[in-house]
Amino acid sequence: MKKSLILGLSLSLVACNCSEGSSSSAVKKSSTKALATLLAAMPSKDAGLVVAVHDVAGALKGLNVQVDRLAGAIDDPAKIRAAVTDRFGFSPFDVAGWTAAGVDTSGGVGVWFGGEGKVEQWASLVLLTIADKAKMLETVKRLAKREGAMDVGAMVAHDGGEWYPFERTLGQRTTQSGGLFIKGNQAVLTRGKLEDVARLAKDAPRMDKDAALKDLMAQLKDSGQAVIYGSRKLSVSQLDADAAVPALEGDGWAAAASATEEKMEVHSVSKSEGEALKELKKLIPEPLPVPAVPANALAAWQQSTDAKAIIALFAQTPQFARALSQLEQGLKQLGLDLHDDVLKPFGTTFSAWVGVDSKATSPFLLLGTAFAGVDIAGGEPQKFIDTVKKVIETTGAPVPGLTGLPNGFDFKHQMGTLKIRAEKEGNRLSARFGDAPKETLAATRPAAKRVSLDKDQASAAWVDFQALAGAAKVGGSLAGQSPLAAIIEKVADALGQYDHLIVTSGQKGPYQLSHGAMVMTKAAPAGK
Asked whether residue 266 is domain-assigned, the answer is no
Residue-wise pLDDT tens for the chain (528 aa)?
A: 334 333 333 333 333 333 333 444 666 677 888 999 999 999 999 999 999 999 999 988 888 887 787 776 667 788 888 888 888 889 988 999 999 999 999 999 999 999 988 888 899 999 999 999 999 999 999 998 887 788 999 999 988 899 999 998 877 787 878 899 999 999 999 988 888 888 888 888 999 999 999 999 999 988 999 999 999 998 887 665 545 555 566 789 999 998 878 889 999 999 988 888 888 888 999 999 999 999 999 999 999 999 998 888 888 888 888 999 999 998 888 888 888 888 889 999 999 999 998 777 788 888 889 999 999 999 999 999 999 888 888 887 778 888 999 999 999 988 889 999 999 989 999 999 999 999 999 999 999 999 999 988 999 999 999 999 988 888 777 777 677 777 888 888 888 889 999 999 999 999 999 999 999 886 544 444
Residue 230 contacts by C-beta under 8 Å, 6 or more apart in sequence? 48, 49, 252, 253, 254
Would you call 73 helix, strand, or coil by DSSP?
Answer: helix
Residue 70 contacts by C-beta under 8 Å, 6 or more apart in sequence? 494, 497
Read off φ and ψ for residue 97, nearest 5 degrees.
Answer: -65, -40
Would you call 278 helix, strand, or coil by DSSP?
Answer: helix
Assess whether 290 and 392 both reside in one domain.
Answer: yes
Please, are residues 161 and 181 in contact by the beta-carbon 8 Å criterion?
A: yes
Rg (CA), the chain: 28
Q: What is the pLDDT of residue 371?
A: 96
Assess whether 40 and 87 both reside in one domain.
Answer: yes
- Among 451, 458, 454, 448, residue whose Cα is nearest residue 505: 458
Please, are residues 164 and 137 in contact by the beta-carbon 8 Å criterion?
A: yes
Please, are residues 143 and 89 in contact by the beta-carbon 8 Å criterion?
A: yes
Q: What is the pLDDT of residue 19?
A: 36
- Among 453, 443, 164, residue whose Cα is nearest residue 302: 453
Distance in angstroms (rounded) separating the CA atoms of residues 110 and 105: 11
DSSP annotation of 338 = I
Instruction: Give bridge partners of residue 440 from the DSSP assignment.
Output: 294
Last residue of a domain, one of 221, 237, 253: 237
Read off φ and ψ for residue 29, nearest 5 degrees.
Answer: -65, -40
Asked whether residue 493 is domain-assigned, the answer is yes
Asked whether residue 248 is domain-assigned, the answer is no
Q: Which domain holds residue 411?
A: 272-511
Assess whether 437 and 499 both reside in one domain.
Answer: yes
Please, are residues 226 and 17 in contact by the beta-carbon 8 Å criterion?
A: yes
147-171 burial, b at 16+ Cβ within 10 Å, e below that, comes to: bbebebbeeeebeebbbbbbbeeee
Residue 477 contacts by C-beta under 8 Å, 6 or more apart in sequence? 362, 363, 485
Please, are residues 252 and 270 in contact by the beta-carbon 8 Å criterion?
A: yes
Assess whether 230 and 278 both reside in one domain.
Answer: no
Assess whether 209 and 299 both reside in one domain.
Answer: no
Count of structural domains within the chain: 2
Read off φ and ψ for residue 49, nearest 5 degrees.
Answer: -130, 130
Single-letter residue type at 100: A
Asked whether residue 527 is domain-assigned, the answer is no
Distance in angstroms (rounded) separating the CA atoms of residues 71 and 413: 40
Asked whether residue 519 is domain-assigned, the answer is no
Read off φ and ψ for residue 110, nearest 5 degrees.
Answer: -115, 140
Assess whether 423 and 379 both reside in one domain.
Answer: yes
Please, are residues 260 and 21 in contact by the beta-carbon 8 Å criterion?
A: yes
Assess whether 154 and 203 both reside in one domain.
Answer: yes
Please, are residues 208 and 39 in contact by the beta-carbon 8 Å criterion?
A: yes
Asked whether residue 392 is domain-assigned, the answer is yes
Asked whether residue 335 is domain-assigned, the answer is yes
Distance in angstroms (rounded) separating the CA atoms of residues 267 and 263: 13
Distance in angstroms (rounded) separating the CA atoms of residues 19 and 416: 46
Which whole-number Å values give the CA distances from 280 to 6, 283, 304, 485, in the listed order?
A: 37, 5, 12, 47
Where in 280-370 does DSSP place strands (E)?
A: 297-304, 349-355
Assess whether 308 and 356 both reside in one domain.
Answer: yes
Assess whether 115 and 183 both reside in one domain.
Answer: yes
Q: What is the pLDDT of residue 14?
A: 36
Which whole-number Å values give the CA distances from 111 to 45, 103, 106, 269, in the listed order?
A: 15, 15, 16, 20
Assess whether 290 and 356 both reside in one domain.
Answer: yes
Asked whether residue 400 is domain-assigned, the answer is yes
Residue 318 contacts by C-beta under 8 Å, 6 or more apart in sequence? 242, 243
Q: What is the pLDDT of residue 51?
A: 97
Assess whether 156 and 280 both reside in one domain.
Answer: no
Assess whether 164 and 310 both reside in one domain.
Answer: no
Q: What is the pLDDT of residue 113?
A: 95
HEC profile for 440-495? EHHHHCHHHCCCCCECCECEEEEEEHHHHHHHHHHHHHHHCCCHHHHHHHHHHHHH
